[in-house]
Structure 1
Amino acid sequence: MAFRDVRDLAEQLKLLGYPNNIPISVLSTPYGGPESFKAYSDILQWLINRLEPNLALAGGTRNEQERIQLVRSATEFLVTRSSIRINPRKLYASSVAAAQELRKVTALLIASPKVTGQEEEPIKSHIEIDLSDKIDELKRVRGLSSELTNRGAALYDLLQKELLNREVRNVQSTRSLELNATEKIIRGAIGSLQSKLASARAVLDGLRADNANLASKIARKASELERSRQRLQALQKVRPAYLEEFEKLEQELKTLYEQYIVRVRCVDALRSQLFSKNRTPTPTSPVVRIADSSMTILPEGLIESEEENEEEDDFDERDDVKLKTDRRVLRSELLNRDRGSTRFRSRIEGASPSGKERSKMIGSIEDELGPLDSSMSSEDFS
């Protein structure tokens, strides 16, 4: 059937007077190609010129976009002018199936009434056809036709109900109206509408007053904000006289606080070492025991060099003098007690203090040093 369509197309083209050679072998390819598309495009252009002389179709055969545009413009022209529907896919494929689509155009040209040469006049069209507008018109016509169908169906239903509606309408028209009741109802409706109108006007007046008040408040707050902003800018530019002294004192306070933290940690570390030593005594020789027991354990801070005493000039002079005197007195008492205990131990030959005596002695020293540590921590913090 496929080759038969190509053969019939060639015969119809010869009857119509196609001037070029008809390559049947190229047109009868099952898959198509560039050569077959060019041959079909030439035939299509010639057939459209028979329908509309001097009409140039948009597009070409060089690339894909031009081929698509050519097929689209040809199908739109045939639909709008001749009411011939052509499958654009088959025409673009340019295979054997395209011959069957072109036979629709050739059949129309062959079936058209023949005219003599005297009656035949050349039709010249110098106006370019905008096919996109035609497509929009077709869509609009389809929408209007569907709307017309729906309205016709609705009108048919209403006409069927007209028989019943006519009787009801006649009954209502012949009924006598009660003028007093009607007038009363109308006046009541008018009164309710007037009251609603008055309330709406009152609400509108209130909203206008509120709007004016809010506008005045906004203006006042804006002026206050501007003044506050100017004042803030002025204060930011001014540097107080006490600010430098405040920053200096702040740095000194940070330094003193770091020193205080270090001293408190050292005291806690020494105290923990002392407790651990009391809990786990180590056996030693008698000579070493006498030498260890003769040493007085003093916390860090009581024995200080002259350089450390000179660095504490930041404290108050009276508190510093009082603290130094208390430390000297306590140091002298502890040294005198240590000397007395050393003499007493040297008299006893081969005797050494037991663990309980050592713990009692260390506990007494710790009890004596406890108030001193608390006074030192309070003075350092102050």
Structure 2
Amino acid sequence: MSFRDLRNFTEMMRALGYPRLISMENFHAPNFMLVAEVLLWLVKRYEPQTDIPPDVETEQDRVFFIKAVAQFMATKAHIKLNTKKLYQADGYAVKELLKVTSVLYGAMNTKGVERADVSEEDSSKFKFDLGSKIADLKAARQLASEITSKGASLYDLLGKEVELREARTESIARPLEINEAEKMMKIAIDCVLEQVQKTKDMLNNVALDEANLEAKIEKRKLELERSQKRLQTLQSVRPAFMDEYEKIEEQLQKQYSSYLEKFRNLTYLEQLLDDHRRTEQEMFEEAANMLRLMQNRLKEEEQHLLKSGNNDDSDADIQEDEGSDSEVEEGQIMKQRMATEALVQANPALGSQEVLLYKERTGTGVRMNVWKDGHQTGRCCLVGFVTLQPALSTQLEASLLLDVAYCNKFTCH
């Protein structure tokens, strides 16, 4: 797109009498509505009777409009337009529009119309109609093709004139024989009479066929009436197996209702079983987490007591040497019982259950087993254990019992 093309296009449109003023700024951005209006006006300039739909609201309508205009220009004015550039509706479309406007503008100049002297009002009244001339051109082309074909056929006939002249002269010169002519006339009359007789026979056959068809129709009607009566009789009679069928249908309905009820119950019980299993799994996981926390806490307290009890090891050894083993064990048992009783009194949630601590000596220290005994069930389960130093087992019994108190809600089998 160039400034000169825009200027030439606007000047040509003004000279051709376009009623709207076109500015050179209109095509800096795509303006499809203006391009469509200009194309429709140019098509009307070529042939006012053309029928191109002006609807360009949707994309499909725009594509159809551009194709119709391009086809019209190619067939009527022999102008090839680029549909892609026309659809862009920007400066590149001006070059395609110039192809049409330049032809109209050149035709106007050949008639001696000066662009500078024509005012806007006079140019709007200018009519440039090529419709009639295009129609005359089409008729002339058709006549030329007919003349060519007629001339070729006439030439062929003239070539046969020599032979036909001799045959025609011979036929005219030959005398007419009355007997032969009469014979030919009789033959022709006999042929006509034979055709007439055949036609009469066909008419008679048609009458017979009509009577046969009417008899067949009556017969079919009687059969139809008998079939309808038989159908009505069968519909009015109740079958013998109908009672048994209804009983079986009722039983089937009851069985189906029972099946639905049992299926719903089974589904409900399966759901309850899944919920129960999920609850037990959660309880087991919670118990395992509680035991893990207890073990971690005991390990931390053991490490803490090991660090803080290094200074008291010598005094504990002296006391152990002086006292007897039986007295130490009795004192530990008493402490265990007192801690257990205090735990039960402080935690009423334990109920009739008793928390027991069982200690057994190992090679590295004392192993403390924590048991929970239910008097109602007569069962007992091992909650947890921890291995301690002999000097620290007595001090950690109370803290271990406090941790065991949180496990009373779990039941082990």
TM bin, normalised by shorter chain, reads 0.3 to 0.5
Pick 1 or 2: higher relative contact order, CA cutoff 8 A, min separation 6: 1
Which protein is richer in strand relative to its size?
2
Q: Structure 1 length normalisation: TM-score? A: 0.41
Q: Structure 2 length normalisation: TM-score? A: 0.38
